[in-house]
Chain A
Amino acid sequence: MSEKILEVKNLEVSFRTYAGISHAVRGVDFYLNRGETLAIVGESGCGKTVTSKAIMGLLPESNTEIRKGEGSAILFHGDNLLDYNEKQMSQIRGSKISMIFQDPMTSLNPTMKIGDQIMESILIHQDISKAEARNQALEMLKLVKIPNAEERMKQYPFEFSGGMRQRAMIAVALACKPEILIADEPTTALDVTIQAQIMELIGSLQKELKMAVILVTHDLGVVASVADRIQVMYAGKIVERGVVDEIFYKPSHPYTRALLNSVPKIHTNNKETLYSLKGTPPDLINPPAGCSFAPRCEYGMMVCRKRYPDITRFSDSQECSCWLYHPKADTAGLPEDMIRRRAR
């Protein structure tokens, strides 16, 4: 179960923009085990989508700089994808690692039949006849629970509803039974009931095809029921990671806590004001020295703005980068559970 199929080491991605170089991802490390679900959580602009596109090699070459060498690597079964050329990458994409996107309304080619779009990746990666590919595509469409699959094969995306399109998108992505599915905000553009159906579908297909899923989202509600592990990203760095229960019941980084507090609870009464995190994420062209969350942090200290904190480990799986867990940190005004966690 715990075979590492993907390992990202010190990933650094920056974009050349007119305003300067934007450091979107600033040293991210993580791994993915076979068959597990890893959630990457954070608000927009924190680098979660960039991280996933970097794994797929889908970032625009013209203005993107991905750090190579010196401990930076994206290892897929031990091979560094950063060293792959375009042709080698295209053999990985869609067959070994697939991706689905946020907006199903625009992610399918409007002038190509759904069936052809699913068949395309099968035909690219497998040496089989068109008729066989058609059969496989039909099977996929049935697998993602699209009714009248045979008829739907011949239809165009505009004849599908949003939820159906996302199902079709999933069929496209899974047509070659990849080992890893990267789902980039797969339910953000859908309404809540459809969201649940799509997440359920991804979950059941994951078990059936024994694939690992990287779920990229800003919605902690979506993550809770499906993820095995969660890592929280802020301003291009991972600030906290842990298994689901640790993140939900023992959140340690002030940013994680703020995210959790801003999710409405079922027992919240309507007279309470929902917590909202003040401020905006930092400018990644000139990222602040020290912890980039410090300016928005309730418990920010002098040192937070000067040096980036070391990692504090709480368990085998949970760790967090925050100065509050340093032995010398000032604990006055900290919530009790955080003080208790410090003591360990």
Chain B
Amino acid sequence: MLKFIGKRIGYAVLTLFLIATATFFLVAAAPGDPIAAKVGQMPEQAQAIINEKYGFDQPVTVRYVKYMKNLLTTGDFGESIVYTGKSANDIIKENTLISAKIGLMAIVFQVVIGVLLGMVSALNRGKAVDHLIRVLVVLAICVPSFVFASLLQYFLAFKWKLVPVFGWGELKHYILPVAAYAIGGIASYTKYMRSSTLSVIGEDYIVTAKAKGCSRGRVVRKHVLRNSMIPIVTMIGPALAGIFAGSFIIEKMFSIPGLGFYYVKSVSDNDYTMVIGLTIFFALLFVIALIVVDILYGIVDPRIRVAKGKK
């Protein structure tokens, strides 16, 4: 198991390095100029000073080596071009938690409600409940999250005045963004859980469980649930990493100062250091999430645990 994890970490480091390199050169190759965007009509002398400060007077390869050296020795992503005086690290530090809070809450709702609805749907296959859930699932998957966000804002906040339209800080501010963010995920977890539950129900060992005298409830709790959760676990990993980046639309709509908000803004601002820094950060989260999933997998499915242990 340790050897396996070590190997995975090795690959992860390599992946991160490649991503950093690719992003660096892609951003450099993109049209547009961060300085021009920022300073507009500055005197040439001032522009030259800024260019020198960020190293834009040097060729891209030299900048790359310098950047990497700095990153590897200090772990510093560099100073933001737009938010002067703040490094990309600061912005990540300040805003990650905000995104993560919403994302984590949303994921918890997604998995819990999705798994529940999926099971209910599968266990009542062909009945009215199943049809209703399936129609809702298709609807929720097809309609984009910003539409839900607006609908929620309109009805819950504007018309019925149950919650604030937007804002940040208190618990009540979480309700709408988390709901809007979670709906799509609930639908996909429901869909996956339904199909995996259906396939588990058809397995021979479920007949065995019934033949033992298990009641319907016991069959579901002890035999169906765990086995049908296995594919869900695979989905949770990437979703965990995605919560930091994926909530951009929601963050924008509810004016939440999260990381996704900064990510997209830095792209449109041509803020080199921010784009590269955030990309590496997201990649890091993703890679970690995938390793965590592999370990989680082993906990849910004993077959994988031992196979890995024997390697």
Residue numbers of A with Cβ under 8 A of B are: 56, 58, 62, 86-87, 90-95, 98-99, 101, 103, 106-112, 120-121, 124-125, 156, 158-159, 169, 172-173
B203 lies within 8 A of chain A by Cβ: yes
Cβ distance A181 to chain B, nearest Cβ, rounded Å = 11
B 206-217 binary contact with A (CB < 8 Å = 1; else 0)? 011111111110
Ordered by A's residue number, 10 sampled pairs between the chains whose C-beta atoms are within 8 Å are A90-B213, A94-B212, A107-B205, A107-B208, A108-B208, A111-B301, A112-B222, A120-B214, A156-B303, A158-B303
Residues on the B chain within 8 Å of A125, using CB: 213
Do B205 and A110 touch (CB < 8 A)?
yes
The residue from A90, A111, A173 contacting B215, defined by CB atoms under 8 A apart: A90
Task: Check B44 for interface membership: any CB of A closer than 8 A.
Answer: no
Is B265 among interface residues, defined by CB-CB distance under 8 A?
no
In the bound assembly, the distance between CA atoms of A296 and B220 in angstroms comes to: 45
Interface residues of B in 193-213 (CB under 8 A from A): 203-205, 207-213
Which residues on B sit within 8 Å (CB–CB) of A107? 204-205, 207-208
- Categorize the interface residue count of chain B: 20 to 34
B211 in complex: contacting residue of A86, A91, A173, CB < 8 Å: A173
Contact of B303 among A94, A95, A110 (CB under 8 A): A110
Interchain CA distance A67-B150 in the complex, whole Å: 56
**How many angstroms from the CA of A91 to the CA of B211 in the assembled complex?**
10
Do B205 and A109 have beta carbons less than 8 Å apart? yes
CB distance from B121 to the nearest CB of A (A): 15
**Distance to closest chain B CB from A123 (angstroms):** 10
- Chain A residue numbers with a CB within 8 Å of B215 are 86-87, 90
**Cross-chain contact A93 with B204 (CB below 8 angstroms):** no
Shortest Cβ-Cβ A-B pairs, 6 listed: A94-B213, A121-B212, A94-B212, A106-B204, A93-B213, A109-B205
In angstroms, Cα B302 to Cα A55, docked, is: 34
Whether A110 contacts B216 in the complex (CB less than 8 A), given A101-B207, A158-B302, comes out as no
**In angstroms, how far is the closest chain A Cβ from the Cβ of B127?**
9
Q: B63 within 8 Å of A by Cβ? A: no
Interchain CB contact under 8 A, A103 and B204: yes
Which chain B residue lies CB-closest to A125? B213
CA distance A92 to B210 in the complex (A): 11
Complex contacts, B209 vs chain A, CB 8 Å: 109, 120
Set B125, B205, B214, B302: member contacting A156, Cβ < 8 A: B302
CB of B298, distance to nearest CB on chain A (Å): 12
Asked, given contacts A107-B204, A156-B302, whether A94 binds B211 with beta carbons under 8 Å apart, the answer is yes
Interface status of B218 (Cβ within 8 A of chain A): yes
A58 to chain B, nearest CB (A): 6
- Besides A94-B211, A172-B208, 5 new A-B residue pairs in contact (Cβ under 8 A), listed by A number: A86-B215, A93-B211, A106-B203, A124-B213, A173-B211
Q: How far is the CA of A120 from the CA of B213 in the complex (A)?
A: 9
A108 and B205 form a contact (CB under 8 A): yes
Q: A98 contacts which chain B residues (CB < 8 A)?
A: 211-212
Chain B residue numbers with a CB within 8 Å of A86 are 215-216
Chain B residues whose C-beta falls within 8 Å of the C-beta of A91 in the assembled complex = 213
Taking a contact as CB atoms closer than 8 A, the residue among B125, B222, B302 that contacts A120 in the complex is: B222
Q: With A and B bound together, what is the CA distance between A55 and B306 in angstroms?
A: 39
Nearest to A103 among chain B residues (CB) is B204
Closest CB in chain A relative to B8 CB, distance in Å? 23
Q: At the interface, yes or no: B66 with Cβ under 8 Å from chain A?
A: no
| B283-309 to A contact mask, C-beta < 8 Å, 1/0 | 000000000000000001111001000
Q: In the bound complex, what is the Cα–Cα distance between A107 and B216 (angstroms)?
A: 18
Does A111 lie within 8 Å of B211, measured CB to CB? no
A173–B226 CA distance with the chains assembled, in angstroms: 22
Q: How far is the CA of A28 from the CA of B41 in the complex (A)?
A: 96
Verify A124–B222 contact, CB threshold 8 A: no
User: When the two chains form their complex, are residues A58 and B226 in contact, meaning their CB atoms are under 8 A apart?
Assistant: no
Q: Which residues of chain A have C-beta atoms less than 8 A from B214's C-beta? A: 90, 94, 120, 124
What is the CA–CA distance of A62 and B203 in the complex, to the nearest angstrom? 17
A169 touches B227 (CB 8 A): no
Across the interface, A169 reaches (CB within 8 A) one of B203, B208, B230, B300, namely: B208
User: Given the complex of chains A and B, what is the CA–CA distance between A113 and B103 in angstroms?
Assistant: 35
Q: Are A111 and B213 in contact (CB under 8 A)?
A: no
With both chains docked as a complex, state the minimum distance between the C-beta of B56 and any C-beta of chain A, in angstroms. 57
Query: Is B252 positioned at the interface, with any CB of A under 8 Å from its CB?
Result: no
A93 touches B302 (CB 8 A): no
Q: Is B6 an interface residue (CB 8 A)?
A: no
Inter-chain contacts of B210 with A (CB < 8 A): 58, 90, 93
Q: For A94, what are the chain B residues with a Cβ–Cβ distance below 8 Å?
A: 211-214
Q: Is B31 an interface residue (CB 8 A)?
A: no
Question: For residues 104 through 143 of chain B, which have their beta carbon under 8 Å from a beta carbon of chain A?
Answer: 125-126
Report Cα–Cα, A173/B204, bound state, in Å.
14
Query: Which of the residues A111, A120, A121, A172 comes within 8 Å of B226, measured between beta carbons?
Result: A111
CA distance in complex: A172, B211 (Å): 10
CB pair B211 A58 closer than 8 Å: yes
Asked if B223 is an interface residue, CB under 8 A from chain A, the answer is yes
In the complex, the answer to whether B212 meets A93 with C-beta atoms within 8 Å is yes
A111/B227 in contact, CB under 8 A = yes
Give the chain B neighbours of A58 by CB distance below 8 A. Answer: 207, 210-211
- Distance in angstroms from A167 CB to nearest chain B CB is 14
B266 to chain A, nearest CB (A): 45
Closest approach, in angstroms, between the C-beta of A66 and any C-beta of chain B?
A: 16
Return the chain B residue nearest A108 by Cβ. B205
**B207 CB contacts on chain A under 8 angstroms:** 58, 101, 107
Complex contacts, A108 vs chain B, CB 8 Å: 205, 208
Q: Determine if B218 and A101 form an interchain contact, defined as CB atoms under 8 angstroms apart.
A: no
- Find chain A residues with CB under 8 A from B211 CB: 56, 58, 93-94, 98-99, 101, 173
> Whole-angstrom distance between the alpha carbons of A307 and B213 in the complex?
42
**Which one of B204, B215, B301 has the highest number of Cβ atoms from chain A below 10 Å of its Cβ?**
B204
Chain B's nearest CB lies how many Å from the CB of A162? 14
- State the CA gap A203–B9 with chains docked (Å): 54
Closest to B305 in A: A156
Residues from 205 to 248 in B contacting A, C-beta threshold 8 Å: 205, 207-216, 218, 222-223, 226-227, 230
